[in-house]
Every structure is written in C-alpha cells, then in structure tokens.
Chains A and B, each alone.
Chain A
Amino acid sequence: TQLLEQSPQFLSIQEGENLTVYCNSSSVFSSLQWYRQEPGEGPVLLVTVVTGGEVKKLKRLTFQFGDARKDSSLHITAAQPGDTGLYLCAGPRHGSSNTGKLIFGQGTTLQVKP
C-alpha cells in the first residue's frame, strides 16, 4: 500500500523558532507537492519538487526532495504566527497513471505562538 507518513503530526512552537516537517514513504514518487491549509479553507500549493536531491526555497521555507525520491522535508526558519496551519505533503498515486490523483500525508498541524 502506498503511504506518505508525515511527522510530527502536531507542533506548537514560539515565534522565531525553526522547525522541520518530514514526509516519508517506502515508495518512489515522480514528484511531491507541499500544501498549506488554514482552518475553513482549501489547501494552497506551496511547491512541487520533481528532481531527486532538489532544494527549493520560498522566502523562509526550504523544501527538499530526497535523492531516492522517497521522502521530502519542509524547513521553516524563524517561524511567524502567520505560518500557523495544516501542512500536507502529497504525491501522485501509483497505478493511476496520468489521472492526476494524489495521495496525501496525514498532515502536520503547526501552531506558532506570538
């Protein structure tokens, strides 16, 4: 069974701290996506990583795709209260070639306290 496991599931930190969220699988993915979702809203795409070993930066957010394309991480530097939300990793579902179906990790709920 294809799974994306995120850790930690819950994280509560003070403003200014750094944090890393992990997304791991035993399966190889052609790409992984990271979304952020705020309460009462739909997820918003942050980044798509495609190449093994790839690193992408989005202001204070750094995304990395593992060399073997089985895992990814999201690192936030100097977290701010506006970073609070549910972070989801997602990847193309195997066996559904070209349909665009995604599987999602369980999500990481981040709370940044001022």
Chain B
Amino acid sequence: GAVVSQHPSWVICKSGTSVKIECRSLDFQATTMFWYRQFPKQSLMLMATSNEGSKATYEQGVEKDKFLINHASLTLSTLTVTSAHPEDSSFYICSATPWTGDNQPQHFGDGTRLSIL
C-alpha cells in the first residue's frame, strides 16, 4: 500500500521550455504533498509543501513563479518548471502523506530526472 507514482521519470529538453511533473497517490488520498530537489549524492532539499485546494507554501529561496505547484485533487499534485535553464537540471522527488502529523512517514515517488540542454 501507500504507492506514489511520479511521471515522467526522465525529461531532456531545450533551455526555455516549461516542464510539468505529475505526482499521484495511487491508493490513498494525500492531504499534503511535498516537492524536493536532490543533487547527486546529496540529501533532499524541500522546495514546497502542497495542500489540496490551497496555495502551496514555498521554502525560503525557492522562486514560486519559477516552480509552479498545483494540487487540484487529493490524489494529484503537479510541479511545473517554467522557462527551464541548465541550472534547473536536477532530480525532483515528490512525497505524499495521507494525513498531517509529525510522526507520519512520507511516501515518495521514484523521482524525475530533469536535464536541460
């Protein structure tokens, strides 16, 4: 149980392109979804928290106009990297929880490798 699907798993595109990444909870309703960025052999850096039906909360230093988040339903959140540039190349991972709470585990998608040429 608690499966999170992320799509696409790999994207290669030209500089200036906007890229949309989907995160779906397949067998539970996700009140909250999180978006992370990860550089090679490094830890996860939280970018934003996405709550269904409300605006996302962005971490300090993350441009909300650059990384657009939409959480339109309890099973789907999307991250759009607008006008992507090579410095946006990274591994993006989403996670979801069925309910909020400090001791609840997060269920992670398999990530999206974004490469901007």
Binding site for B on A (CB under 8 A): 30-31, 33, 35, 40-45, 48, 50, 86, 88, 92, 97-107, 109
In whole Å, how far is B66's beta carbon from the nearest beta carbon of chain A? 21
Cβ contacts B95-117/A at 8 Å (1 or 0 each): 10100111111111111010000
Chain A interface, >50% SS class: loop
Contact in complex: A48, B34 (CB < 8 Å): no
Binding site for A on B (CB under 8 A): 4, 6, 9, 32, 34, 41-44, 46, 49, 93, 95, 97, 100-111, 113
Which of A45, A50, A107 contacts B42 (CB under 8 A)? Answer: A107
A97-B102 contact, Cβ under 8 Å, with A42-B95, A42-B108, A42-B111: yes
Contact in complex: A31, B102 (CB < 8 Å): yes
Chain B residues contacting A97 (CB-CB under 8 Å) are 102
Contact in complex: B105, A33 (CB < 8 Å): yes
Chain B residues contacting A86 (CB-CB under 8 Å) are 41
Chain B residues contacting A31 (CB-CB under 8 Å) are 102-103
Chain A residues contacting B93 (CB-CB under 8 Å) are 42-43
Which of A33, A35, A41, A45 contacts B111 (CB under 8 A)? Answer: A41
